[in-house]
Amino acid sequence: MRNSFNRSLIAGAAVAMAAAAAPAGAQGLSIGTEAGWRGFWRGDTAPARWTGPLPSVTREVRWRTVRPGVETGEIRVAGSGEAWRVRVVLVRIDPRLHRLALDEARVADGMAGAWTVDSAGSGAVVAFNAGQFSGGTPWGWTVRDGREVRAPGTGPLSMAVVADAAGRIRFVGADSIGAARRAGGVAWAIQSYPALLVNEGQVPSALRPGARDIDLGHRDGRLAIGELRDGRVLVALTRFDGLGGALSTAPLGFTVPEMAGLMGALGCRRAVLLDGGISAQLLVRPARGRALRYPGWRRVPLGILVAPRTAPPAR
């Protein structure tokens, strides 16, 4: 209890300091460069559709190959309010070389999640938490090992990440989940929300200025998964980078529209948020050297594991 209370006090102090450091105004994002900060997105003039990556953003990513078909990179992004300094950790995965799979862990009574990135077996190259949750139960459509364990949830801003037996990954919009379900051939699937980019880079109307379907001003730590135009999968995790990174795991970060802008600028055609805040967590294991570990504060019921296709995904 005392540790949780202390964390709340620290996080509250960080918010106050961040708010004082960054003036209020329209939502906007700037990318950190060697020459300083360069704006690349504004909420009041944001594109309704992204037709490709934004070079001013993508050229700042220094990709490093950790395994064939898996690369990591980082960028620094500045927003307003508590998002005045954010580090974005990126992982780019080629599904032709690596297979994605669901992993589940719950306490004995099934009412609470027990999964963290430390649950990932040694064969997993990448691991991160999946979906949205209600207590220890995944929200929305969930398929594991070809068997549906939870029916689809209702929500126009939801999106499913679907894999077939061959390991091909699809991002299925809310209006197409029923058809995907009836067609069968699903090895695993999770449904999450809100969708950030649909169809071919379109920003949902509910994320544009003036919409009232969701709270467009709420800020939090974020975890997103998206599909690049060449078929690779992109995972993006935000970490608060103010105060020297001392509060990197604090749930301070971007709004949903800002995350849509970021994923669009990085080249995604489709993207959806996974559970963020204190649940967001990521692990990357290079072939050599220490693992890159970004823990969360909360255990969850489901994670996604990534393993080479030459070996079955670790459980």
pLDDT tens-place string over residues 121-173: 999 999 999 999 987 889 999 999 999 999 999 988 999 999 999 999 999 99
pLDDT tier, 1 (very low <50, low <70, confident <90, very high otherwise): very low
pLDDT of 253 above 80: yes
Q: What is the pLDDT of residue 291?
A: 95
Residue 176, φ and ψ in degrees, nearest 5: -115, 0
CB 77 within 8 A of CB 261: no
Average of pLDDT values for 39-45?
95
Tell whether omega for the bond before 152 is within 30 degrees of 0, i.e. cis.
Answer: no
Length of the chain (residues) = 315
266 has pLDDT over 70: yes
The separation between CA 43 and the C-alpha centre of its own chain, rounded to angstroms, equals 20
> Which string of DSSP letters, residue by residue, matches 40-76?
EEEGGG--SB--S--HHHHTT---EEEETTEEEEEEE
Do the beta carbons of residue 218 and residue 252 sit within 8 Å? no
> Model's pTM, two decimal places?
0.90
pLDDT digits (tens, 9 = 90+) for 76-128: 999 988 889 999 999 999 999 999 999 998 887 767 889 999 999 999 999 99
What is the tens place of the pLDDT at every residue in 161-218? 999 999 999 999 999 999 999 999 999 999 999 999 999 999 999 998 877 778 899 9
Handedness of CA 126, 52, 63, 60 (dihedral sign): negative
- For the chain, domain boundaries: 2-140+190-308
CB count in 10 Å sphere of residue 310: 8
Q: How many CB atoms lie within 10 A of CB 104?
A: 18
- How many angstroms separate the CA atoms of 52 and 300, rounded? 34
